[in-house]
Amino acid sequence: MTSPVLLWLHRELRLGDNRALLAAVASGQPVLPIFVLDDETPGAWRPGEASRWWLHHSLAALAADLARLGAPLLLRRGRIADILPSLVRETGASAIHAGQPVEPWARRVAAELPRLAGVPLVLHRTVTLFDPEALRSGAGTPYAVFTPFSKACLARGPAAPPLPAPAHILAPERVPPSDPLEAWGLLPGQPDWAGGLRGTWTPGEAGARQRLAGFLDHTMEAYATARDRPDMDGTSRLSPHLHFGEISADQLWHAARAAGDGPGQIAFIREILWREFSAHLLWHHPTLPETPLRPNFARMPWQTAPRALRAWQRGRTGLPIVDAGMRQLWQTGWMHNRVRMIVASLLVKHLMLPWQQGEAWFWDTLVDADLANNAASWQWVAGCGADAAPFFRIFNPVLQGRKFDPDGSYVRRFVPELARLPDRWIHEPWAAPADVLEAARLRPGITYPAPIVDLAAGRARALAAFASLSAT
């Protein structure tokens, strides 16, 4: 019996442009794809609840796609460093193929696997556009500023052309038993909070292709300007598909290039490169999710305010565009990127709560929760990360709302208590005259909360904190 090779799937839940899968097939040996749900390895960021919902459906879709090519999808739960060596012994596998992980804990596991399993581990680029070690500044150091990083990426030429899916996968004669996907309990019980997710998303490679096609046909042309407007359908919403590897960064790059070279395409490629920059930062700074890149921010005088944190999490801050964003997140598992910056700025600057608390909430509630993107973006907003200049930037949620949701349609969608307010007052209901509030059936502090922070006082406190860091 010919020995198989294992295909360890981590964040490449697709058949198309999957270099690890194609290399395993090219070996001429039977291929056994396996996904391990590892909630036990020290340092591993256990997937949040929204991500677990997505993972269930993505694995179900992948299993069906693999079955059509003749291969099973083996599911096991436990420590990867235990499961894969055990499976090598069980099957007599001669090698393991896998995508190069970016997460620090997964990189540590990958480094130990050849010794533990006793067979080669062959890693392939499946998550990023470029080899994470390939991009260095002129001084030979990792990049810390996005613009020179993006220029270096563009100077390398186009991303590698996407590769087609294999036509057939040779399966082993004997397939070890697999965990039933339902036994993992990735879906919510009661209460079932996932209705908004089901109504918004179609996880899986086919869903990713459909989302990309819709974006190219209807949104790409206006993307450069519409992407900042939460009241419009102006973004790609491809981030969860990209995070789970249902579509590759190479595929998105070439799809954008094929669509032309207008402002929308240029802006979209810039967003792909921001994702690449986040991975670059995590690769070279493994403590990025926990520790500020700027050491002086370890002295930031953060506050302890559990009630304010809870109000922020539930969209009950009394600041309409913030509450709309937090409720959109709770209902759909996703939030518009402009609004992500607004709600994050309120938390870490006006409320002076640690960025790690916001990072943890996003990790649990976002379907596109990505360790590199989440950590890099929260550090950027907090002012303690890479390229965070000016680090003392503080978003005013009223002004941001007026600029990017001018008629309040985004707020009205997710904060229906405010639906009857005129546009003039939709982003500042506490300032509306009494007759306007009465006509809108709005009772500040009762039917909708009063602001949990005075914006001017919160801004002054944050600027004083930044000044204290500079002075010490």
Cα separation, 355 vs 300, in Å, equals 11
CA 349 to centroid of chain Cα atoms: 22
* Alpha helix ranges (H) inside 227-302: 239-243, 249-258, 263-284
* Alpha helix ranges (H) inside 2-120: 19-26, 49-68, 80-91, 104-117
* Alpha helix ranges (H) inside 118-177: 146-155
Half-sphere exposure of 9 (CA within 13 A, CB side): 27
Cβ atoms 42, 105 nearer than 8 A: yes
For residue 448, what are its two tokens? 């909708």
DSSP result, 174-231: S------GGGG--S--SS---HHHHHH---SHHHHHHHHHHHHHHTGGGHHHHTT-TT
Cα separation, 37 vs 77, in Å, equals 5
Cα separation, 245 vs 204, in Å, equals 9
Counting beta carbons within 10 angstroms of the beta carbon of residue 175, is it exposed (0 to 12), middle (13 to 18) or buried (19 or more)? middle
Cβ atoms 398, 303 nearer than 8 A: no
DSSP state, residue 2:
P
What residues act catalytically? Answer: 271, 274, 302, 337, 355, 378
DSSP result, 410-467: HHHHH-GGGTTS-GGGTT-GGGS-HHHHHHTT--BTTTBPPPSS-HHHHHHHHHHHHH
Closest by Cα among 337, 100, 379 to 238: 337
Cα separation, 391 vs 300, in Å, equals 13
